[in-house]
Structure 1
Amino acid sequence: MVWQEMLPPRFRRGVPDIESDDNSAVTEVPVDQEKSFGVRRMEAIAASFTIYDKVALFVAIFLVAYSRNLDGNGRKSFQATAIAEWDSAANTAMLGVVRSCVAAASLPVYAKVSDWFGRSSIFLAIVTFYVIGTIVQATAHNFHTYTGGYILYILGFAGEHVLFQILIGDSTSLRSRLIFAYVPTLPQLINTWVSGTIASRILEVSTWRWGFAMWTIIMPCVALPLFFALYGAEYRSKKKGLLKDIPSTRTIVSTPAYWLDFFWKADIVGLFLLAASWALVLIPLTLGGGTSSKWKTAPVLSPLFVGLCVTFPSFIIWEAKFSRFPLLPWTLLKNRHILASFGIALFSTVSQSVQSTYLYYTLIVSFGKSVEAATRTANVESFCEVIVGVSVGFAVRRFRVLKPFIIFGACLYVVAYGLLFKYRGGHTSADFAGLVGGEVVLGFAGGFSLTPVQVGLQASVGHEKMAVITALFLTATVAGAIWTNTLPARLAANLEAIGTANATTYAKQVYGNPLKFVQANPVGTETRTAVEMAYRSVQRSLCTAGICLSAMLVVFSLMLNWVELDDRQNKEDKEEIAVNDEKMAEADGAGGAPPVLAAKNEKVQSK
C-alpha cells in the first residue's frame, strides 16, 4: 500500500523497497536516451579524479563561496542605504520578486547549458554576469538603473549556487552528499559576525558605491582557482583519452545542428513562457498596493490578466502537447514523495521570506538597532542553519535516513514563528533576545529540513531537473503584498492619532525612507513610537502568515517516503541496471541483445 512507503522498511509488510508505479519514491529513467555532451564530459573527468583533485575542487568552491557570501551579506546594508537615498525603500519587495523571477527562470537554463556545454564554460558566463551586474549597481544613480544591474548580478549569483550543487552531485555519494552540500554555505559561519562590521566601516570611510565596486576586482581573482581546478581536471582526462568521443565546446558552438538540438532539449519556449508568467503575475501583485490603491488601474490589471489567462495557460499547453523535452515532467508530478518535497521547498521559502524581507528595517525602526547590529542579526538564521545542517549531515551519514530529521525540522518552524509573533518590537533586552531566539530556532529548522529534502529528491530520482520546480516563484510576493497594502495606511492612522500635521504625506516619507526617519526621530519620541507601533502591527500579520505556512510543512514532511541512502553517486544506478537486465533477458529470448543496449548495460554494470 502507498502509506506503507512512508514507514521504515522494518515496519512494512509485503511492500518491496522499490516499486515501479507512480507513487514510488523512485522514478524510472529511460536508459535509451543519449546523455548530453556536458554530462558525458563530467563523468569522464570525475572518473579520473584523485583524492587531491577532489580536495582542490572543494577548496576552490569554498573560496568562491566565501567571497560570494561576504559580498551578499554586505550588500544588504549597501542596498538599503542606496535605495533609501533615492526614497525607494518601499520597492524592496519588488527587488525580492525580481530576484525570485530571475533566479527561478535562470536555474533550469544553467542546468541545461551546463549539461550541454560543460561546467567550465558555464562558470565563465556566470562570473561575467556577476561582475557586469555589480558594475552597473555601483554606478547607478536611480532605482531603475540599479534594478537593471541587480538582474545581471542575480543571474551570476543564482548560477554560482546551482553550479556548486551540480559539481557536488558529480563528485560525492548520496550518503555523504548532505555534508558536502554545505561547503558553499560554510563561509556563513565567519561572515555572519564580520560582514556587519565590514559594511559599517565601509559606509563610515567611503560610500555604498565602493561597497559594490570592490567585488568587481575581488570576484574574478578568487574565481581563478576553480577555473584551474575544472580545466586542469579536463586537460588530464583529455590526455588519458577519456574525452576522445566527446565533441569539444568549440565544436558544439560552431555546429548549427547542435544549437537546434539544444533549443529543443533546453525547452527555450517553455522557459520563456514560464518566466513571462512569473513576471506578469508577481510584480503587479507587489506594486498594486502602496501608498495609494492601484488595484483597479490598467497597469496592474492588464499584466495580471495576460499572465493568468494567456502566458501561463500557454505554458501548460506547450509543455503538455508540443514540448519534446518538457520542463516539468508530468511523471514526476504524479509522485507523492516529489510533490511533498516541492511543498516543503515552497512553503518553507515563502514562510522564511515573510519575516526576512523587511527584517533589516524592522530591527532598525522597531528595535532601535545600529546598522552593524541589524546586519548581524539578519544573518543569525543562516549561521545557525549551517551549523545544524553540517551536524545533521554527519548524523545522516551514520544512520542513512532523512525523514525523522525533516519532520523534526518542520515542527521547529512552527515554534520559531510563534516566538517571532510574540517578539516583534521593543527596546528592552528581553524583546531583542526573543527575536534572536526566534531567528535561532528558525535556523535550526532550516538545517534539519531544507537541504535534507534536496538530498532526498536526488536520492529518489537522481540528477533530475529540480531547479525549475523548486524555484522561489512566490517567495517575496507574499511579504510584499501584505507589507505594501497595510503599512502605509497604518502609518498614516498612527500619525493622525497623535495629531501629526499632513500625516498622510509624512507617512509616505517614512514609508519611502525609514533610515532617514530613524536619524531624525530618536527612540522615545511620540512620532517614533507611533511609527514603531505601525511596524509591529505589520510584523504581526507577517508572522501570522508564517505560522499558517509552517503548519503545512509538518503535513508535507509526514507525506515523504522513507528514503535510505548508500554509497552510490546516484540512486538511479540500481533502477537502470534492473531495467537493462529485464530488456537483456527479453532480447536474449528473441535471439540476442541489440549492440547499443548491450554496451550501455555493460557500462552500467561496471559502475
Structure 2
Amino acid sequence: MAAAPPVDSPMEAEAKYNTEAENVVREVKSSDDDQESNTINTTFQPGVQDIEAVTITWSRTWLIVAYVLIWITYFIQGLVTGVTGALLPYVTSAFAEHSLTPTTGILSAVIGGVTNLSIAKVLDIFGRSQGYLLCIVLCTVGLIMSAACNNVEAYAASQVFYTVGINGIGYSLSVFVADTSSLRHRGLMQAFVSSPNLITCWLSGPISTAFLNGAGWRWAFGMFTILVPAVTLPLSGLFMWQFSKAKKLGLIASRQSGRTPWQSIAYYCREFDAVGLFLLSAGVAFFLLPFNLYTNEAKGWRSALILSFLIVGIVLIILFVVWEKFFVPVSFLPWSILQDRTVLGACILSFVLFLSYFCWSSYFGSFLQVVNNLSITHASYVMQTYTVGGVVFAIGTGAFISYTGRFKPVTLYFGIPLTILGMGLLIYFRQADQNVGFIVMCMIFISFAEGVLVICDEIAIMAAVSEQQYFAISLAVLGLFSNIGSAIGLTISAAIWQGTMPGKLAEYLPTVDQENLLLIYESLPTQLSFPVGSPERTAIQHAYGDVQQRLMIAGTAVWVIGVVSVLMWRDIKVINIKQTKGQVV
C-alpha cells in the first residue's frame, strides 16, 4: 500500500498560503501594464479599500469558493422569502385581519429601502463583512419576533427587522458580486448567483403546506432563525479571513481615528445622516398608512387618527426636504449621482417595476386558492412561475450583455413591450370564469420581461457610475426607489381592496350570509370553507374577480412611466469599461 502524502502542520500551511498570496500579488502586478490599477486607492473609503485588497491578493480558487458561498446564501434567502410570503395570508387570517395582508409590509418596505443607504455606509466605512453581519442579525431578530407575535401589529413590527435584514443580505450579496466582477460580465454573474430561485420556488409551497398542516406557521419562522445564521455566516468568515491575509501582506495600513466614544457617535450620526433617514422613513410611512387603515375607522377619512397620520407624514417629508437642502452636513442621498439621466432613469424604472408588481401580487395567492380552487402548494407553483421565468431570462440577458456589451436595446424593445402585453392580458384573464392556464401564460410573459428588466436596470446604474466607491451607494439608491415603489404598490393594492371588496361581497352574497360578511371578508380559511359551486363561494369568486380587474388596471397603467424612464438612458457599451481590480470574473 502506498504511503499517505505528508500533511502540512498549521504553521507550514500558513507560510505556504502567505507565499501563494505574495505570488498572486506579483503575478497580478506583472501581468497588468497599468501598475496603478493593482494598488489600493487610499482616497476611497476604508470598506472599499479593504475589498480591493482582498481581490488583489486572493487566488482564482478563493474567488470560486466565494461565489459558491454566495450561491448557497442566495438559496437560503430565496427559501425564506418564498415560505414567509406563502404563510403571510394565514398569519393575518389567524388574527382575523386578512384584509391587512399588504399593510403589514408597507412600513417594512419603506424602512427597508431607506436603511439600505445606511447599510451602504456601513459597507463603505466599516467593511463589507461588517455590514453583511449586521443584516444577518437583523433578519434573525425579525424571524424570532415573527415566531412569537400575538397580533398583526406585533407581526408588522417583526417584518421591519426581517425585511431590513433579508433585503440587506441580498443587497450585500449584490455589492459582493459588483466588487468581484467586471462590468461586462456583472449581469451574467448576478443572474448566476440568483439561479437558486429555480430550486427554492418549488420548495416553498410544500414546506409551507407541511408547517400549516403540522407544527404550525410559528415553527416555520423558528426553523429559519437557526437556518439563516448557519448558512450565511461562512461567507462573512471567508471575506474576513482573506482581508486579514491582505493586511498581513501590508496592503492595508493601520487606521486610528483619534476620536473619543462620544465624538465617534457624533461623527457616525453625521456620516449616516441619522436625522434625514428618520424624517424620510417616518414621513413616507405616516403618509402611506392612512390609505390602508381608513376602512378600519368608523369615520373613515374623517377620523382624527387618519387625518393626523396624513398631516404628520406630509410635515415630516417637508422637513426632510428642508433639512437636506439647508442644514444637512453630510447627505445620505447622493444628489450628484441622481443628476445623471441614466441613473435617474434606472431608479424610476425600478420604482415602476416594483410598484406595478405589488399592485396585483398582494392578493394573488388568495385569488388562486379561492377562485381557481388551488391548494397552497399549487398556488405557490403558479406564483413561482414569475420567479422561474425571471431567473432563466436573467441568465440569458446577462449572457447577451457579456457578448454584445449592450443593455438598453433589449430593455426597450423586448422587456417593456412584453411586460405591458402580459399585464394587459391579465386584466381580462384574472376573472372568476377564466381557466388558470391563461393566467400561467400571462405570468410567463411577465416573468420573461422581469428577468430582462431587473438585470438591465442594475447594469444601467452601474455603468453610469465611474468608480468602485459608488457601487454600494448606487445599488442602495436603486433599492430605495424599488422599496418606495413596493410601499406605494402595496398601498394602492390595500386601498382598492378595502374600498371595493366589502361592497362587492355585500352585492353578491346571499341575504342569509350578510351577517357574516365581515368574517368572510377578513378570513381566508372562512372563504375557502365554502364548497366550490355553492352560492357563497360563487359570490366570493365574483367579488375577487371584480377587485382583481381594478388591481391589474392600476398595475398596467404605471408602465407609461416605465417607457419614459428607459428612454432616458444613455446607450452605454459596457465592454472595456474597467471598474474593479485584481482577481475578478
- Report the TM-score, using the length of structure 1 for normalisation: 0.83
Equivalent residue number for residue 236 of structure 1? 245
Secondary structure of 1:565's counterpart equals coil
Equivalent residue number for residue 88 of structure 1? 97
Secondary structure of 1:470's counterpart equals helix
**Taking structure 1 as reference, are residues 36 and 46 closer, same or farther at Cα in structure 2, changes over 3 Å only?**
same
1: CA distance, partners of 2:183 / 2:576: 6
Contact 2:149–2:155 (8 Å) recurs in 1: yes
Q: What's the offset of the Cα at 1:204?
A: 2.3
| Per-residue Cα deviation, 1:457-487 (whole angstroms, up to 9, x for no partner) | 1110242523244242123112122112111
1:220-299 correspondence to structure 2 within 5 Å: 220-246=229-255, 256-289=262-295, 294-299=300-305
Note if 1:514 corresponds to 2:528. no
2: CA distance, partners of 1:350 / 1:79: 19
Contact 2:195–2:391 (8 Å) recurs in 1: yes
**Taking structure 1 as reference, are residues 140 and 330 closer, same or farther at Cα in structure 2, changes over 3 Å only?**
closer
Secondary structure of 2:300's counterpart equals coil
Q: Letter of the 1:201 partner, please give it.
A: A
1: CA distance, partners of 2:148 / 2:266: 38
Correspondent of 1:367 among 372, 382, 397: 372
Equivalent residue number for residue 456 of structure 2? 452
**Taking structure 1 as reference, are residues 471 and 544 closer, same or farther at Cα in structure 2, changes over 3 Å only?**
closer
Secondary structure of 1:172's counterpart equals coil
Equivalent residue number for residue 83 of structure 2? 74
**Taking structure 1 as reference, are residues 534 and 252 closer, same or farther at Cα in structure 2, changes over 3 Å only?**
farther
Equivalent residue number for residue 385 of structure 1? 390
Contact 1:168–1:181 (8 Å) recurs in 2: yes
Secondary structure of 1:125's counterpart equals helix
Note if 1:327 corresponds to 2:327. no
Q: What's the offset of the Cα at 1:55?
A: 1.0
Deviates more, 1:57-66 or 1:290-299: 290-299
1: CA distance, partners of 2:457 / 2:103: 28
Contact 1:103–1:471 (8 Å) recurs in 2: no
Q: Letter of the 2:437 partner, please give it.
A: A
1: CA distance, partners of 2:273 / 2:462: 22
1: CA distance, partners of 2:259 / 2:541: 57
Deviates more, 1:467-476 or 1:120-129: 467-476
Q: Letter of the 2:176 partner, please give it.
A: L
| Per-residue Cα deviation, 1:294-341 (whole angstroms, up to 9, x for no partner) | 111111111111211x21111111111122322333333433322222
- Report the TM-score, using the length of structure 2 for normalisation: 0.86
Note if 1:526 corresponds to 2:531. no
Q: What's the offset of the Cα at 1:349?
A: 0.9
Correspondent of 2:149 among 140, 157, 160: 140
Q: What's the offset of the Cα at 1:290?
A: 5.2
1: CA distance, partners of 2:258 / 2:162: 27
1: CA distance, partners of 2:396 / 2:344: 27
2: CA distance, partners of 1:400 / 1:292: 58
1:588-603 correspondence to structure 2 within 5 Å: none
2: CA distance, partners of 1:165 / 1:420: 32
Contact 1:488–1:511 (8 Å) recurs in 2: yes
1:349-364 correspondence to structure 2 within 5 Å: 349-364=354-369
Which structure 2 residue ranges, 5 or more long, are not aligned? 1-40
Q: What's the offset of the Cα at 1:274?
A: 0.6
Q: Letter of the 1:436 partner, please give it.
A: V
Deviates more, 1:73-82 or 1:185-194: 73-82
Equivalent residue number for residue 481 of structure 2? 470
Which structure 1 residue ranges, 5 or more long, are not aligned? 1-31, 574-602
Contact 1:192–1:379 (8 Å) recurs in 2: yes
Q: Letter of the 2:188 partner, please give it.
A: I
Equivalent residue number for residue 499 of structure 2? 485
Contact 1:348–1:553 (8 Å) recurs in 2: yes
Identity percentage of aligned residues: 26
**Taking structure 1 as reference, are residues 335 and 238 closer, same or farther at Cα in structure 2, changes over 3 Å only?**
closer
| Per-residue Cα deviation, 1:180-227 (whole angstroms, up to 9, x for no partner) | 222442111011122212221232232111111111111121123212
Q: Cα RMSD (Å) of the superposition? A: 2.2
Equivalent residue number for residue 174 of structure 2? 165
1: CA distance, partners of 2:217 / 2:415: 37
Correspondent of 1:342 among 341, 347, 356: 347
Correspondent of 1:499 among 511, 521, 525: 511
Q: Letter of the 1:363 partner, please give it.
A: L
| Per-residue Cα deviation, 1:483-521 (whole angstroms, up to 9, x for no partner) | 1211112111222xx3334x2x422112210222212x1
2: CA distance, partners of 1:290 / 1:363: 26
Q: Letter of the 1:175 partner, please give it.
A: R
2: CA distance, partners of 1:485 / 1:368: 25
Note if 1:413 corresponds to 2:425. no
**Taking structure 1 as reference, are residues 292 and 529 closer, same or farther at Cα in structure 2, changes over 3 Å only?**
farther
2: CA distance, partners of 1:318 / 1:229: 40
2: CA distance, partners of 1:36 / 1:202: 46
Q: What's the offset of the Cα at 1:389?
A: 0.5
